[in-house]
A and B are shown apart, each in its own frame.
Chain A
Amino acid sequence: MLARTADNLYWFARYVERADHVARIIEATSRLAALPRAYGGATSEWESALISSGVIERFNETGKEINESNAIAFLVVDTDNPSSIHSCMEAARRNARAVRTALTIETWEAVNAAWLELLRYERERAKGRGLERDDLGRFLALVKKMALDVDGSAYRMMLRSEAFYFMRLGHFVERADNTARLLDVKYHVLLPDNEAVGGSLDYFQWSAILRAVSANTAYHWVYRESVKPWLVADLLILRAEMPRSLTACYENIVRWLDLLARDYGRQGKAQRHAHAMLAKLQAADLKIIFQNGLHEFIEGFIADNDRLDIVMAEQYLVH
């Protein structure tokens, strides 16, 4: 397969996943920020949303005040923000168009339809109507549906070969990054001793994290008890059955990389690096992670995840 095609497929999947993540962050934050101050509702939630989307520095460069309307504008439609939903969808569509024939018609239509909807939403918004929350809500739901359609159509229809593997890899590398960043923003409320300090005040923070990754129900099925911060961390870092956990992401990354290696008849740096990361996660103990510092652990993970991106490019994209 052309290296460019593999690159386009990989980034196509990454941008779709990132758009979905930003949409979920906005939804969870809107809900949290609407709570009374005593329950954690505060404008600092929008700051967290900007941090966990990895764009706080860029936002600060604009010199604008951090509030709901500015943060949402920046996260949804701002073309100066490379991780805004607009930028993600534009990049996803650009990448998809370049490899149009490697995708199914349904996959392409899912992206294209969402893009046209984005343009419509932006036109309405420019008329001063878009800020209405139910309009935004409908749009965010559509972004999430696009991600589902892309995933679903690929899963149901694509040939299981390198094109599919590169898309899956993009999907899970991005997802691991998103989950890690989300955890990092909230790591202080997840520390075990925080329960006593924060008490019920942080309960809604934890719920918001779970909501951002659609894991409220999953949490209760897995632990069968009320939301405890260290269990939220356990769920999102170590639990292999939780599809957004770091472990689950790496189980998948290892799987698709191994299939690539099988088809190409050659293992490489990328396989070794991913296997090492998975082994580390599988051997990890939450207590020890907390002892050594959750923040440091996550920072280390994000760096290692970025490193995978680089070794994959060296192995498959640039010769």
Chain B
Amino acid sequence: MTKLSETGFFDEMGADAAPREVYARLARWLQDTPPEVLASRRAQAELLFRRIGITFAVYGDKDAAERLIPFDIIPRLFARSEWSRLEQGLFQRVKALNMFLTDVYGKQEILAAGIVPRDLVLRNPGYRPEMAGFRAPHDVWVHIAGIDVIRVDDQDFYVLEDNARTPSGVSYMLENREAMLRLFPDLFMDHRVAPVDDYPDRLLSSLRSVAPYSAPSEPTVAVLTPGQYNSAYYEHSFLADKLGVELVEGSDLFVHDNIVFMRTTTGPKRVDVIYRRIDDEFLDPLAFKPDSVLGVPGLLAAYQAGNVTLANAVGTGVSDDKAIYTYMPEIIRFYTGEEPILKNVPTWRCREDEALAYVLDHLPELVVKEVNGSGGYGMLVGPHASKNAIAEFRAKLKHDPSNFIAQPTLSLSTCPVSVESGVAPRHVDLRPFVLSGANGMVSLTPGGLTRVAMKEGSLVVNSSQGGGTKDTWVIDDA
């Protein structure tokens, strides 16, 4: 039973007269709450965030104070039953991602079985030949996964993207909740919201569990940041603080006899697990970019010697790029023997003749992406493109079909958002954070980062393009 708003998109709250059950209390509350109260809370929230925002802003450029990420005060709700289904799907998917990585850097059974084309993996820019034959400690590669999920109806979740490198945004999940608790204590009493504030504890125990086998029973964990000029520096320092571990820069670490140490006031101290927020290429100037000043010389050798665990592992990029994404359903079936619980957005691989023919016939209604492009580069959005642009893209596509995939224009669901004129639907997606530890331990904090396209009608939730965030609540079923 799918309820569509008049715009044709699935609205998570549902029609005014008959809201979906999970939203019943919130819908009533929105009706009963005078607009001026909502407006004053919005102002209060802004004040609250400006205070935090001062700290956010410092880490960007001078004008960052004006570029706070907008925060919407109306929570997004999931019933526990819906969430459990999502959780199972995420666990299944992350398990498959870890097995896939173990395999492609190990026995390569999936390539031998012809499930994923060999070239697509071995010549993938995210594939690290240095890691071939390496076994990640405890066979965990993606310790922290940010799986971007959308809804198109009240049944299904679609995965938009697997972020298996260094997904960010979890600080918003925690900060947004803190703000909401201060703004709407009554609403929390009404809803009995599953808490998210144990995320740092879960993360810490997960990171400790994957320490090298030789590490002491209380392994030393550190967060590795590129430094205070990185745009996510606030999140790095926030996490280190919540985890109660050191926030280190490359220059704070050194490697001696394949063992990693940090320089402390009482001398060198061995580090066992590094939650790194630096990309592969910058980790170790001896192994990757020689001019990287962010990394630690010898780190990769120490890692390969099994003396330190890096989270996430090196080389996970091969599992989350757009070309591999299209094979995720097969990958899940291959390793788990189960049907995927979460769907992929239907995708045409233009490397396949039949798909290419379909895509060429339907360009005006499709989104076509370069497999290795990101940030919207090399992309055609059919419904918004001119005839010339489509013709141009058609030529590119014919010239090098295997470099492209195509997807239907996405119908992201909408949620109620507090705007100047009252309450209105806006499109949203969701990034939940899935943790993987030793012995098959997977963990999902009931919540995540809900991103909102604040502009009416917009489907772009990216913060760089006016996207905002809102708190995500998992509540008990009525």
A, B: real partners: yes
Q: Which residues of A contact B (CB under 8 A)?
A: 1-6, 94, 97-98, 100-101, 105, 108-109, 112, 162, 166, 264, 266, 316-317, 319
A100 in contact with B251 given A2-B263, A162-B265 (CB within 8 Å): no
Q: Mark B246-257, 1 if CB is under 8 A from A, else 0.
A: 111101100000
Residue in B51, B58, B251, B265 whose beta carbon sits within 8 Å of that of A97 in the complex: B58
Complex Cα spacing A1 to B251, Å: 15
**B241–A101 contact, CB under 8 A?**
yes
> In angstroms, how far is the closest chain A Cβ from the Cβ of B255?
15
**B252–A2 contact, CB under 8 A?**
yes
- Residues from chain A with a CB closer than 8 A to the CB of B260 are none
- Residues from chain A with a CB closer than 8 A to the CB of B263 are 2-4, 319
- Residues from chain B with a CB closer than 8 A to the CB of A3 are 252, 263-265
**B264–A1 contact, CB under 8 A?**
yes
> In angstroms, how far is the closest chain A Cβ from the Cβ of B248?
6
**A317–B265 contact, CB under 8 A?**
yes
- Residues from chain A with a CB closer than 8 A to the CB of B372 are none
- Residues from chain B with a CB closer than 8 A to the CB of A317 are 265
- Residues from chain B with a CB closer than 8 A to the CB of A4 are 249, 251-252, 263
- Residues from chain A with a CB closer than 8 A to the CB of B115 are none
Complex Cα spacing A97 to B51, Å: 16
**A101–B237 contact, CB under 8 A?**
yes
- Residues from chain A with a CB closer than 8 A to the CB of B251 are 4
Residue in B54, B237, B247, B248 whose beta carbon sits within 8 Å of that of A112 in the complex: B54
Complex Cα spacing A22 to B441, Å: 57
**Nearest CB to that of A260 among chain B residues?**
B265
**A101–B240 contact, CB under 8 A?**
yes
- Residues from chain A with a CB closer than 8 A to the CB of B114 are none
Say whether B262 faces chain A, with CB atoms less than 8 Å apart.
Answer: yes
**B248–A2 contact, CB under 8 A?**
yes
A-contacting residues, B449-476, CB 8 Å: none
Complex Cα spacing A98 to B228, Å: 6
- Residues from chain B with a CB closer than 8 A to the CB of A316 are 265-266
- Residues from chain A with a CB closer than 8 A to the CB of B238 are 101
Residue in B54, B252, B267 whose beta carbon sits within 8 Å of that of A319 in the complex: B267
A108 in contact with B264 given A101-B237, A101-B240 (CB within 8 Å): no
- Residues from chain B with a CB closer than 8 A to the CB of A105 are 55
Complex Cα spacing A317 to B265, Å: 6
> In angstroms, how far is the closest chain B Cβ from the Cβ of A227?
44
> In angstroms, how far is the closest chain B Cβ from the Cβ of A101?
4
Q: Which residues of B contact A (CB under 8 A)?
A: 51, 54-55, 58-59, 228, 237-238, 240-241, 246-249, 251-252, 262-268
20 A-B pairs in the complex with CB atoms less than 8 angstroms apart: A1-B264, A1-B265, A2-B246, A2-B264, A2-B265, A3-B263, A3-B265, A4-B249, A4-B251, A4-B252, A4-B263, A94-B228, A97-B59, A101-B237, A101-B240, A162-B265, A264-B265, A266-B266, A316-B266, A319-B267
A/B pair count, beta carbons within 8 Å: 50
Residue of A166, A266, A319 ringed by the most chain B CB atoms within 10 A: A319
**Nearest CB to that of B222 among chain A residues?**
A2
Complex Cα spacing A5 to B249, Å: 11
**A100–B252 contact, CB under 8 A?**
no
Complex Cα spacing A166 to B265, Å: 10
Residue of B54, B58, B266 ringed by the most chain A CB atoms within 10 A: B266
> In angstroms, how far is the closest chain A Cβ from the Cβ of B277?
14
**Nearest CB to that of B229 among chain A residues?**
A97
Complex Cα spacing A132 to B249, Å: 44
- Residues from chain A with a CB closer than 8 A to the CB of B228 are 94, 97-98
Complex Cα spacing A245 to B337, Å: 77
Complex Cα spacing A1 to B269, Å: 9
Complex Cα spacing A282 to B129, Å: 67
Complex Cα spacing A112 to B247, Å: 21
Complex Cα spacing A25 to B190, Å: 59
**Nearest CB to that of B253 among chain A residues?**
A2
Complex Cα spacing A216 to B146, Å: 62
Complex Cα spacing A316 to B54, Å: 32
**B265–A100 contact, CB under 8 A?**
no
Complex Cα spacing A266 to B265, Å: 12
11 further interface pairs, Cβ-Cβ under 8 Å (given A3-B264, A100-B237, A319-B267): A2-B252, A4-B252, A4-B263, A5-B246, A6-B265, A97-B59, A101-B240, A108-B55, A109-B51, A109-B54, A112-B58
Complex Cα spacing A317 to B263, Å: 8
**Nearest CB to that of B247 among chain A residues?**
A101
> In angstroms, how far is the closest chain A Cβ from the Cβ of B133?
34
Complex Cα spacing A20 to B435, Å: 47
A264 in contact with B266 given A2-B248, A4-B252, A101-B241 (CB within 8 Å): yes
When A and B form their complex, which 6 residue pairs have the shortest distance between CB atoms, in order from nearest? A101-B241, A316-B265, A3-B263, A6-B265, A100-B237, A101-B237
**Nearest CB to that of A115 among chain B residues?**
B58
- Residues from chain A with a CB closer than 8 A to the CB of B264 are 1-3
- Residues from chain A with a CB closer than 8 A to the CB of B249 are 4
- Residues from chain A with a CB closer than 8 A to the CB of B248 are 2
Complex Cα spacing A98 to B236, Å: 11
**Nearest CB to that of B263 among chain A residues?**
A3
A100 in contact with B55 given A4-B249, A4-B252, A319-B267 (CB within 8 Å): yes
- Residues from chain A with a CB closer than 8 A to the CB of B241 are 101
> In angstroms, how far is the closest chain B Cβ from the Cβ of A262?
13
- Residues from chain A with a CB closer than 8 A to the CB of B55 are 100, 105, 108, 112
- Residues from chain A with a CB closer than 8 A to the CB of B246 are 1-2, 5
Complex Cα spacing A4 to B228, Å: 13
**A319–B268 contact, CB under 8 A?**
yes
> In angstroms, how far is the closest chain A Cβ from the Cβ of B51?
8
- Residues from chain B with a CB closer than 8 A to the CB of A97 are 58-59, 228
Complex Cα spacing A98 to B237, Å: 9
- Residues from chain A with a CB closer than 8 A to the CB of B262 are 2
Complex Cα spacing A3 to B55, Å: 24
Complex Cα spacing A266 to B267, Å: 12
> In angstroms, how far is the closest chain A Cβ from the Cβ of B215?
19
**Nearest CB to that of B59 among chain A residues?**
A97
- Residues from chain A with a CB closer than 8 A to the CB of B252 are 2-4
